[in-house]
Structure 1
Amino acid sequence: MIDRFEWRDLPVGVRVAVQDHTGAVRRAESASVGRNSAFAASLTTAEGPVFCKGGRTGSSQAVMHRNEAAVSSHLPGDLAPRLLWQVEEEGWLLLGFEHVSGRHADLYPGSADLPLVADAVTRIAGITPPATRRMIAAHWEAALANETDELAARAPRYMHGQTLVHSDLNPLNILVADTARVVDWAWWRIGAAWIDPAFTVVRLVAEGHEPGPAEEWAAQFDAFRDAPAEAITAFAASLVCLWGRRFAGTAATEAARTWVEHRMTNGPGFP
């Protein structure tokens, strides 16, 4: 997690610009999770609660926040919090979102949240994405350009498609109440419809599922069930390579490694 700024630490002009939208900020509670925003807090304001996050305009965080702002108008309000306003002032970019209640999703085996998560994954795949060239296959190809693992390097060839992909469906990005709502769209891309179900398999394994049952859960999605076996195996191998560089030893990286070993041992999708 990056170092977080408190509300009082933001430049005066930035706070004034936010309050032009919200009225007086009476309380600010910094988010306890997340790694992509220099500022992230629930604000209690004269106009009601709002979730605000952002970063410096010259940083990589600003690119991610602009990505999120670009997709927000395409997302149904009952699937993702609505973007209410955007402020760019004194070298800061801040986004204000509808404040939604809920707890982080439980993905453990047998969880009652799993059908709600499945519904969210289905709904994401049905959204018409923005007209853009944010193709996940090209992004993956560039990231794997110097990769020597032949299986991992095959992944991009299978990732082409026209489906909106969230690409970071970890439990912290899924808020559950009566339904599951998905937050943090900074990493969205466009690609094959099997990709988000496959990302979710890794998260299920990280939360205690065996790889086989995790794949059975993902097989409820036609795109995952019908994907070439090698595509899924190569994708899992690519996650080990890419995540291992930045997140070695994390539960997600180790889950991806466990998944690859399962697929290699059980035979699908490799020569």
Structure 2
Amino acid sequence: MPAPSITFAALPSGARTAIEAEIGSILRVEDVSAGLNSSLSALAHTAGGVVFLKGLRSDHRWVWTQQREADINPYVTPLAPRLLFHVIAGGWDLLGFEAIDGHHADYSPGSPDLPKVTGALRELAALPCPGIELRLAEKRLAGYVADPADAEAFAGNALLHTDWNNHNVLITHDRAHLVDWGWATRGAAWLDPAHWIIWLIATGHAPSDAEESVALLPAWTLAPPRAVDAFAHASANLWEEIAGSASDDWTMNILNAARLWQQHRSHRP
């Protein structure tokens, strides 16, 4: 379930004071739609520029993702916006990032954003996986495969983002930026292209065309076909579980895309 949203003005005064101690006096704030993994999502305008703010209550079950984002940021810039501060105050865990002046990626067929997204996938695949605490792909997906042994195919030493929701990909004039790294994972390098395939299908691509979009990525060329089959199966099961507790149109669209890809893989020669 999404984290409950809150406006900047509704934050406790101690939290707002702590933010201004980091970035200076705030001239105005634009509250923006919070993502699934954060309660606070806002753009703070200061004399020095614009800062993107995100936060969760300190007792929220996903608050660990805030620390994960802070820990990983030095290793993923400039692919990701630079972290400016991380503070805990007034019962809130708060992050401030350089604001990216761009738009959410358009994944639809023929979109001019698609080459920039594949460029981001290439850039991410070239980054070394840092020696910080990260979730492991084979453990994250172990409960969704048909055979527990299938999950071992997801193991690896690549740094993965894993959440290719188009709202996590910001497009500027020359490139794509990845935000929301709270679910960064260590695993097989081909898994991020595989995650993206489901989002491509959800935005109108046929499964074969979605696979063609990643076909030239070096990480994808190394993907064992049977392992990809297992991932498609696990992804459909994962989204079935998510839809069980949040059967809104958005979730059902992703679930249907995952099912469609699973069916496509099951008919593979």
TM-score (norm 1): 0.91
Matched, 1:230 2:260: no
* More deviation, 243-252/14-23: 243-252
Equivalent position of 2:258 in the other structure: 256
For 1:164, the aligned partner's letter is L
Matched, 1:206 2:186: no
**Equivalent residues in 2 for 1:183-222, closer than 5 Å:** 183-222=179-218
Question: Structure 1: where are the runs of 5+ without partners?
Answer: none
Structure 2 distance, partners of 1:43, 1:133, is 30
For 2:258, the aligned partner's letter is A
Deviations 1:203-231 (A, max 9, x none): 11111110011111111112222211110
Equivalent position of 2:111 in the other structure: 111
Matched, 1:170 2:155: no
Structure 1 distance, partners of 2:149, 2:260, is 19
Structure 2 distance, partners of 1:211, 1:188, is 25
For 1:168, the aligned partner's letter is D
Contact 1:22 1:46 in 2 (8 A): no
For 1:36, the aligned partner's letter is N
Equivalent position of 2:11 in the other structure: 10
Runs of 4+ in 1 over 6 A off after TM superposition: none
Deviations 1:82-141 (A, max 9, x none): 000111112211000001111111111111111100000011111122213522212222
For 2:177, the aligned partner's letter is R
**Equivalent residues in 2 for 1:1-271, closer than 5 Å:** 1-77=2-78, 79-134=79-134, 135-141=136-142, 144=143, 150=146, 153-178=148-173, 179-247=175-243, 248=247, 250-267=252-269
Contact 2:80 2:179 in 1 (8 A): yes
Question: Structure 2: where are the runs of 5+ without partners?
Answer: none
Deviations 1:41-86 (A, max 9, x none): 1111233210000111121231111111111010122x11100011
Structure 1 distance, partners of 2:149, 2:257, is 20
For 1:66, the aligned partner's letter is Q
For 1:82, the aligned partner's letter is R
Structure 1 distance, partners of 2:110, 2:100, is 25
Structure 2 distance, partners of 1:264, 1:47, is 54
Structure 2 distance, partners of 1:156, 1:121, is 22
Structure 1 distance, partners of 2:24, 2:141, is 43
Structure 2 distance, partners of 1:129, 1:54, is 25
Structure 1 distance, partners of 2:196, 2:61, is 25
Contact 2:34 2:40 in 1 (8 A): no
For 1:172, the aligned partner's letter is H
Structure 1 distance, partners of 2:67, 2:185, is 13
Contact 1:39 1:54 in 2 (8 A): yes
Deviations 1:137-184 (A, max 9, x none): 12222xx0xx5x626x45421111111100001211111112111111
* More deviation, 236-245/132-141: 132-141
Structure 2 distance, partners of 1:7, 1:132, is 31
After superposition, the CA RMSD in angstroms is 1.6
Distance of aligned partners of 1:39 and 1:33 in 2 relative to their CA distance in 1, 3 Å threshold: closer
Aligned length: 260
Identity %: 36
Structure 1 distance, partners of 2:21, 2:132, is 31
